[in-house]
Structure 1
């Protein structure tokens, strides 16, 4: 897992940015838990083994979780792996260009622009949408909650502890959500507008 002080500080910096930009969602009872999940887990510093290594383990876990599919797992893996890679690029650029910690938001956005990852960032937003939609669907399967709680140890032994934690926290965060669409629309528009502004497309 990336361990430089720049990467670690970047995680803290981004969570504060998200808390600021989505404070109204945090204040909304229906979305409070989901907003916390979005801030802490979807942008969190996760690390996974190579996708093909984890893929070989999927069939040993899927049958223990009612309603969970290989596609659900793969979307989550894609999102978390992509997030780690993109954040590491920003952290590396800041370090290699001798920006000091704490860096400013202007410096952070400069790094965001200089690493030239517009298309992957768009893909990240798409994966956030798809992952949340899938977890929201799973949250309506009552037996899945018990299954996720009962398989924590197994998932850890199989080297899928962080992925299991992500699904478990997402399941509980989305339980109170009746209408996911307004949340996804707000996040998508906010993040795309920010991305286009940084890349000087608006």
Structure 2
């Protein structure tokens, strides 16, 4: 994406990409497979961050990432709202808030593209293999390590920016004042995203350790899923998932 383009154009381009991939998935019969991949990734995230999710301090930030970035939710409504307000973001908000929206749109488009390709491989592999091995093989067949690394970089940048922005009392006040106008304008999902992020990272304290741990754990799985012996990788995935089951 050309970073010299206005933020609104970058946001709209990313959201158009997501919309096109969704339409393509429906046309190719990939909807269920895409959903399966997203559900699997949400399970893995929950398994990797049980300590964070159980923490009263780190839990809200971890759940924010899980629900808003890694979850298997339908974000169509939020996407539409971001698309409608993209032009206004640059007029109404500081540059950092606008760039946060750009980050979200890029993360969303990256994830949708990777999930779409993984779903094709997931479907082709079929249920003749256990889900853990099916997932790991689909990951490797998808490739695009650079895109996985970029996903992680964008998530960490979003976290750092969210915490930095929570220090602005005037911005927090403006966000609270936006609740009713946002709801009246049909932008409730966008407002909820911003408020949840600000609340979660405002309560976190110093986010450096939190974000560093996410970087360490996600890089571990990126390396394992690409480079580790497949049987060893699948055994490790199974062990992590089993450890979190009731």
Per the alignment, in what secondary structure is the counterpart of residue 130 of structure 1?
Answer: helix
Q: C-alpha displacement at 1:185, in angstroms?
A: 0.9
CA distance in 2, matches of 1:134, 1:103: 39
Q: C-alpha displacement at 1:126, in angstroms?
A: 0.4
Q: Please, which runs of 5 or more residues in structure 2 have no aligned partner? A: 1-18, 230-246
Match of 1:43 in 2: 70
Match of 1:91 in 2: 119
Moved more, 152-161 or 163-172: 152-161
Q: Does 1:113 align with 2:149?
A: no
More helix by share: 2
Match of 1:9 in 2: 36
Query: Computing the radius of gyration over CA atoms, which structure comes out larger, 1 or 2?
Result: 2
Per the alignment, in what secondary structure is the counterpart of residue 171 of structure 2?
Answer: helix
Moved more, 162-171 or 73-82: 162-171
Q: C-alpha displacement at 1:141, in angstroms?
A: 2.0
CA distance in 2, matches of 1:85, 1:153: 34
Match of 2:14 in 1: none
Q: C-alpha displacement at 1:114, in angstroms?
A: 0.5
Match of 2:170 in 1: 143
Moved more, 162-171 or 29-38: 162-171
Moved more, 71-80 or 125-134: 71-80
TM-score (norm. length: structure 2): 0.68
How many pairs were matched up? 197
CA distance in 1, matches of 2:225, 2:42: 18
Q: Please, which runs of 5 or more residues in structure 1 have no aligned partner? A: none
Q: C-alpha displacement at 1:88, in angstroms?
A: 1.8
Distance 1:106 1:170, change over 3 A: same
Which of 210, 213, 216 aligns to 1:189? It is: 216
Q: C-alpha displacement at 1:142, in angstroms?
A: 2.7
Moved more, 8-17 or 98-107: 98-107
Which of 55, 74, 80 aligns to 2:102? It is: 74
Per the alignment, in what secondary structure is the counterpart of residue 179 of structure 1?
Answer: coil
CA distance in 1, matches of 2:194, 2:121: 31
CA distance in 2, matches of 1:165, 1:183: 22
For the aligned residue pairs, the C-alpha RMSD in angstroms reads 3.0
Task: Report if the CA contact (8 A) 1:155-1:164 is conserved.
Answer: yes
Q: C-alpha displacement at 1:166, in angstroms?
A: 2.7
TM-score (norm. length: structure 1): 0.81
